[in-house]
Amino acid sequence: MVAGHFGFAALVKSRERSAPLWALMLATVWLDIVFVPLFLAHWETVIPVHAGYGGMVIHADYTHSIAGMLALSACLGAMFLPKLGRRVALVIALVSASHWVLDLVVHRADMPVLPGNFGNLPRLGFGLWSHPPAAACVELVLVVAGAIMYWRAAMDVSAKAGRNGRLASLSAAMIAIFGLLVLFLDYTS
């Protein structure tokens, strides 16, 4: 899941208007950003199950463990705390944690509780990626709902500031179009 995370961040922006969108977008894929260097170092791995969308088991045993997710989200929130204040920093940390929750829906029981799957506890994941069209539909709903909710909030703040809604519409349209493009790239990979 890639596009769905960004759609969710747009949705959060509509509810928490003082949080910068770029920070929410960064937060929503923060666990995956940290995953990249660990993947390149072979500390975390991807095992293909089949070609195409969601066709993999991801052993992101540090970044996508529950404990790892909590630690990384807290670190990200702490980084934004001095600049954005407690409330927005907390929202950013929660958006980072939401990545794990959305991944839980699609992953194939590959997300551990503790880093490195310490204690060999059961791995988590509802496995919606086993049904690619259904997983893509969830992402599509998140992108469309995020773009619509964002547009409504952006139009509202523009109207209150006495500005026309052109920039708000452009920004929301970009979220929708880019979201669909990213989902298409992911689905046809």
Residues 16-35 that bind another protein (CB under 8 A): 17-22, 25-26, 29, 32-33
Which amino acid, one-letter code, is at 170?
L
Query: Does the protein bind another protein through residue 96 (CB under 8 A)?
Result: no
Which residue has 């929130």 as its token pair?
A: 77
Phi, psi angles (nearest 5°) of residue 124: -115, 150
85-93, 101-109, 114-122, 129-137 -> range binding another protein (CB under 8 A):
85-93
CA distance 136 to 187: 7
Contact string (CB under 8 A) for another protein, positions 41-80, x = contact: ----------------------------------------
Closest CA to 121 of 71, 74, 67: 67
Closest CA to 155 of 178, 172, 137: 172
What 3-state class would DSSP assign to 131? Answer: coil
When binding is defined by CB under 8 A, the residue of 76, 144, 160, 164 that contacts another protein is 160
> Which parts of this chain interact with another protein (CB under 8 A)?
2-3, 5-6, 9, 13, 17-22, 25-26, 29, 32-33, 83-88, 154, 157-158, 160-161, 163, 167-168, 170-171, 174-175, 178, 181-183, 185-186, 189
